[in-house]
Amino acid sequence: MTSGTVRLAQAEKERRLITKRRRGMTWADIADTEGYASPAGAYRAWRNAIAKIPAPDINAIRAESETLYEYQYAKLIDTIENPPPITSAAGKVVTDDAGNPIPDKSARTRAQTELRHLDESRRRLHAADKPAQIPKDEAMRRVTEYLNNLPPAELVREYQRTVAGEIEPAEPRGEWNPWDSNRRPAGELP
């Protein structure tokens, strides 16, 4: 056998392996039918075969999806601008007194909703809704501002000693201390 024939036979065996696994065969059954020594050997061969399959090109997927989106968009816009007539349960077109078909407003609303969903899907495909990155200096400024607005360390230590029972709590001054879970703001029921 030439090396090309061996590669072709190996590729065919990998294709059968992937197909059998997709159809739900167990690793033991695949090992028996394909001649692997154990189910673990069949699994390793399947994993290696799957790794050889090239990942789809995201730009090709986006281009294909964009064509579909454009078609769906045109159909939905047509439904919004020219809604179909209302039909009865028997399928008869409902008309006004002059005999003109009455447009179905619910079909227009459904098309508008579907158009919104289509737009959201399209934005996700192109990563347009990705959260904006905050520059590092702005992030550091926000963290510093947050830390500077924390209560002084003495209040934190006093609260910890009070909770531990080392000191008696200060007499309430009528204002709510967020560090004291036993006191509530004036007028708040327990």
Co-location of 82 and 26 in the same domain: no
CB 170 within 8 A of CB 179: no
Determine, yes or no, domain membership for 180. no
Q: How many CB atoms lie within 10 A of CB 27?
A: 19
Co-location of 120 and 69 in the same domain: yes
Co-location of 111 and 64 in the same domain: yes
Co-location of 39 and 89 in the same domain: no
Q: Tell me the pLDDT band of 110, cut-offs 50, 70 and 90.
A: very high
How far is residue 118's CA from residue 165's CA, in Å, rounded to a whole number? Answer: 61
Query: Regarding predicted confidence, which is higher, 129 or 176?
Result: 129
Co-location of 112 and 163 in the same domain: no
Q: Tell me the pLDDT band of 190, cut-offs 50, 70 and 90.
A: very low
Q: Please state the domain count of the chain.
A: 3
Phi/psi region, residue 185 (left: phi>0; alpha: psi -120 to 50; beta: rest), is beta
> pTM above 0.85?
no
Domain range for residue 82? 58-125
Co-location of 76 and 120 in the same domain: yes
> Mind listing the pLDDT tens digit for each residue in 9-56?
888 888 898 888 888 888 899 999 989 999 999 999 988 888 887 777
Percent of the chain with pLDDT over 70: 78
Q: Tell me the pLDDT band of 151, cut-offs 50, 70 and 90.
A: low
Which of 150, 173, 169 lies closest to 159 in space, CA to CA?
169
Co-location of 89 and 112 in the same domain: yes
Percent of the chain with pLDDT over 90: 26
Q: Tell me the pLDDT band of 78, cut-offs 50, 70 and 90.
A: very high
Residue 189 tokens, joined: 């029921």
Co-location of 84 and 121 in the same domain: yes
Co-location of 95 and 40 in the same domain: no
In the chain the first and final C-alpha atoms are separated, in Å, by 87
Cα 183 to chain centroid distance, Å, stands at 43
Mean pLDDT to the nearest integer, 165-169: 67
Co-location of 63 and 117 in the same domain: yes
Determine, yes or no, domain membership for 179. no
Residue 147 tokens, joined: 């830390």
Determine, yes or no, domain membership for 64. yes
Average pLDDT, the chain: 80
Determine, yes or no, domain membership for 136. yes
Co-location of 41 and 66 in the same domain: no
How far is residue 190's CA from residue 181's CA, in Å, rounded to a whole number? Answer: 11
Q: Tell me the pLDDT band of 112, cut-offs 50, 70 and 90.
A: very high
How far is residue 16's CA from residue 37's CA, in Å, rounded to a whole number? Answer: 17
Determine, yes or no, domain membership for 2. no
Query: Regarding predicted confidence, which is higher, 75 or 142?
Result: 75
Determine, yes or no, domain membership for 183. no
Determine, yes or no, domain membership for 17. yes
Co-location of 119 and 62 in the same domain: yes
Length of the chain: 190
Domain end: 73, 104, 125, which one?
Answer: 125
The 10 Å CB-count burial string (b at 16+, else e) for 166-188 is: eeeeeeeeeeebeeeeebeeeee
Determine, yes or no, domain membership for 159. yes
How far is residue 125's CA from residue 58's CA, in Å, rounded to a whole number? Answer: 10
